[in-house]
Amino acid sequence: MTESVETSALTPLPGTAGQTGTVVRSHILKRLFKNPLGIIAVGILLTMSLLAVFADVLAPFEENFANISKTLADPDGVNILGTDSAGRDVWSRLLFGARLTLLSALLCAGVAIGIGLPAGLIAGYYAGKFEAMSNWVVSILMSLPGLIVLLTIRAAFGPSVWIAMIAFGILISPSYFRLTRTTVQSVRNELYVDAARVSGLSDLSIITRHIFSVVRAPIIIQTAAIAGVAIAIQSGLEFLGLGDPSKASWGVMLSEGFKNVYLKPQLLFWPAFAMALTIGGLVLLGNAIRDALEDSEKIKHRKKPVVKGTTAAPAKTRAERRSVAAVDVGTEHHLLKVTNLGVGYPQADGSVKKVVDDVSFYVDRGEILGIVGESGSGKSQTAFSILGLLPDNARIVAGSIQFDGNYTVAPGDERVNQGRLSKLRGKRISYIPQEPMSNLDPAFTIGYQLVTPMVRVLGISKAEATKRAMKLLSDVGIVNPKRTFDAYPHEVSGGMAQRVLIAGAISCEPDLVIADEPTTALDVTVQADVLDLIRELQIRLNIGVVLVTHNFGVVADLCDRVVVMQNGRLIEEGPVRDILRNPQETYTQTLLGSMLEGKEPMTMLVSSSPKGAAS
């Protein structure tokens, strides 16, 4: 999907559609041939095609030539795979069968593409009445049992493989229609398509140049699958004896073998093997192309960190100054103590990409610590290692984390101690996420999602938990707790959902709350309310809070102390007032400056103090 974007970025001169197309194809092809399964698949299919094309030359006998004096013979020099019950040569029939099978698969896929692709392009691009009508036709076609319909078609038009395959192509065309339509819909409103439209390209050339290049790869994958299904169906019809009796086919050979299964079961092997091999080749080809596509996307994603790596080089000089910034965690007791933490992700080439490096800080009960940095600075990764909710492939590469004196990450551990943390999570450490809507399970009511953790963690009854949930909802400022309790997540606003998540975070009376950008996804008008709520709850419950944010306004408004992170490292630390008045690092100054130039109303609260310091 994205590979066309990638290549157009790589091609210095975005030329004609044909040029971009060949670049894309060669990329995918190169990757396809690096994958052994891809080579095997192409090898099988190529061999089959060659055997089919040159069947006349390769086959020693006519497909229906019968030597009645030599039936059910074992393989010998003349009939290298033996003969069937009518004395026909198995090898020759296998070759002619390959021709019939591959041609019928091609015909079926061709018909299906010929109908499904244009219909899908039009429906996806223009939507409207045509789409509604096609959807109706699609739902009819998709509720028809294929083989039964083909039997009926045969009753009407006689035993022709070609008619059967045309009919099956029509029946199966919805799969192309749907694929094309969804793909087109997803790019229709992409910026580059808009740009093409604005620059005056006609709809036709937009469709052929931009949209067709996007659907091409999925279409190839789909075709591999559909050709396999077509072969199965065609052979099935032949097996039932409903095909053209004058043609040799794998289905007929299988049925012939099955009739003689007591005399010569070996006859079953070759047609079954040929079918499995061909369909298997198609399946493998589809998988290999999919893998090649996914790889190209992965490589594209990987490009970002590479760029970052180059900018990270001068950060080494900052690292020397880190000793100044690093907190002296010492030996004293803190609620949360992070010491020299490093988090990394193993890469395909065996190296480990560090996203958090040598980070130390502490949090005490009753204080709010801000972790500030731009996206990619490692602040969220730090937060998730405290919660023990890092992705599966993440590794702790250095340092330790202590909660209330106990190690949740002991020095030398590669992973977070889940046994210990699973007892703490929800109960003593809790979490307020960034995006309120995606952090509630859409399938359960808000009430259920508040009550269940309390029942599980505190061991209280459902009735008791319900009562507490109502109280919590009104505590976080929800006017009609009962209605919100009974609502599903999609029925409440984002601000309300965030209040619900805050209620959930404090429901089991934790000691430490990790808030990951708790206001970023909210409307500016709601942000201030939510920040006030966090501050008020923190004071009332006397809890420690780690507030992860990119916004110095939020820090100024809420935090007692702040640590500044850049490229996975901690570069500055101190009481909020000091940092705001007198930031030592240019990076901090930049962050502060961006805040002052920003449009967020939070900045109003501190506008007087840091302005002089920042400039």
Site for another protein in 374-433 (CB under 8 A): 387, 389, 422, 425-427, 430-431, 433
Distance from C-alpha of 251 to C-alpha of 243, rounded to nearest angstrom: 9
Q: Convert residues 133-152 into a mask of x (bound to another protein by CB under 8 A) and - (unbound).
A: ------xx-xxxxxxxxxxx
CB of 600 to another protein, least distance (A): 24
Determine which residue in the list 17, 40, 201, 268 makes contact with another protein, applying CB under 8 A: 268
Beta-sheet pairing, 336-346 with 406-409: unpaired
Judged by DSSP in three states, 277 sits in: helix
- In the complex with another protein, which residue's Cβ is closer, 182 or 205? 182
SS3 406: strand
Cβ neighbours for 600, distance < 8 A, ≥ 6 positions apart: 524, 527, 551, 553
Q: From the CB of residue 97, how many other CB atoms can be counted at a distance below 10 Å? A: 28
CB contact set of 68 (below 8 Å; sequence gap of 6+):
86, 87
Is residue 246 close enough to count as binding another protein by CB under 8 A? no
d(CA 182, CA 134): 13
**Residue 525 exposure: Cα atoms within 13 Å on the Cβ side:** 2
Smallest separation, CB 152 to another protein (Å): 6
Residue 235 interacts with another protein (CB under 8 A): yes or no? yes
Q: What is the DSSP string of 516-560?
A: ESTTTTS-HHHHHHHHHHHHHHHHHHT-EEEEEES-HHHHHHH-S
Q: Which two tokens stand for residue 363?
A: 């949090």
Per CB under 8 A, 36 contacts another protein: no
Is 55 or 424 the residue whose CB approaches another protein more closely? 424
CB of 179 to another protein, least distance (A): 14
Q: Which of these ranges, 65-73, 227-235, 352-360, 589-597, lies near another protein under the rule CB under 8 A?
A: 227-235
Residue nearer to another protein on the CB measure, 278 or 360: 278
Q: How far is the CB of 266 from another protein (least distance, A)?
A: 10
Distance separating alpha carbons of residues 320 and 59, to the nearest angstrom: 78
Torsional sign, CA 441, 443, 445, 449 = negative
Nearer to another protein, 82 or 504 (CB): 504
Residues in contact with another protein, counted by CB under 8 A, come to a total of 72
Among 80, 203, 444, 524, binds another protein (CB under 8 A): 444
Q: Which of residues 492-551 bind another protein (CB under 8 A)?
A: 501, 504, 508
Nearer residue to another protein within complex by CB, 186 or 422: 422
d(CA 123, CA 133): 9
Using CB under 8 A as the binding rule, whether residue 264 contacts another protein is answered as no
Q: How far is CA 529 from CA 120, 132, 164, 372, 600, in A?
A: 47, 44, 67, 21, 14
**Helix (H) / strand (E) containing 364:** none
Which residue among 57, 198, 204, 443 contacts another protein (CB under 8 A)?
443
Return d(Cα 390, Cα 393) in angstroms, integer. 8
Binding-site member from 5, 58, 240, 397 for another protein (CB under 8 A): 240
Beta carbon nearer to another protein, 427 or 577:
427
Contact between 440 and another protein per CB under 8 A: yes
- CB-wise, 321 or 456, nearer to another protein? 456
C-alpha to C-alpha distance for 388 and 417, rounded to whole angstroms: 8
- In the complex, what is the shortest distance from the CB of residue 383 to another protein, in angstroms, rounded to a whole number? 11
Residue among 231 and 579 whose Cβ is closer to another protein: 231
Max distance between CA atoms of the chain, in angstroms, equals 108
Selected binder of another protein within 74, 194, 294, 441 (CB under 8 A) = 441
Could you give the string, one character per residue 451-490, with x where binding to another protein holds by CB under 8 A and - elsewhere? -xx--xx------------------------------x-x
Angstrom distances, CA of residue 45 to CA of 38, 216, 280: 11, 20, 9
Contact 576, 560 (CB under 8 A): yes
* E strands, 51-156, in order: none
Helices marked H in 362-410: 379-387
Provide the token pair at 247.
């043609």
Of the ranges 45-53, 59-67, 153-161, 602-610, which one interacts with another protein (CB under 8 A)?
153-161
Which of the residues 279 through 298 are near another protein (CB under 8 A)? Answer: 279-280, 283-284, 287
442, 597, 608, 612: which one contacts another protein (CB under 8 A)? 442
Q: Which two tokens stand for residue 562?
A: 């702040």
SS3 at position 312 = helix
Residues 314-333 that bind another protein (CB under 8 A): none
Tell whether residue 68 is a contact of another protein (CB under 8 A).
no
> Do residues 236 and 47 touch, judged by C-beta distance below 8 A?
no
* Residue nearer to another protein on the CB measure, 291 or 600: 291
Residue appearing with tokens 């409207």: 128
CA atoms within 13 A on the CB side of 282: 24
* Among positions 116, 124, 169, 228, the unique one binding another protein when judged by CB under 8 A: 228
Interaction of residue 242 with another protein, rule CB under 8 A: yes
In the complex, minimum distance from the CB of residue 289 to another protein, in angstroms, rounded to a whole number: 14
User: Please, are residues 380 and 516 in contact by the beta-carbon 8 Å criterion?
Assistant: yes
Which residue, 217 or 576, is less far from another protein as judged by CB?
A: 217
Q: Which of 57, 68, 156, 204 binds another protein (CB under 8 A)?
A: 156
CB of 604 to another protein, least distance (A): 31
Stretch that binds another protein, among 16-24, 155-163, 342-350, 464-472 (CB under 8 A): 155-163
Q: Are 372 and 550 in contact (CB under 8 A)?
A: yes
Q: Please identify, using beta-carbon distances, which residue of 150 and 592 lies nearer to another protein.
A: 150
For another protein, give the closer residue by CB, 5 or 149.
149
Tell the smallest beta-carbon distance from residue 304 to another protein (Å): 19
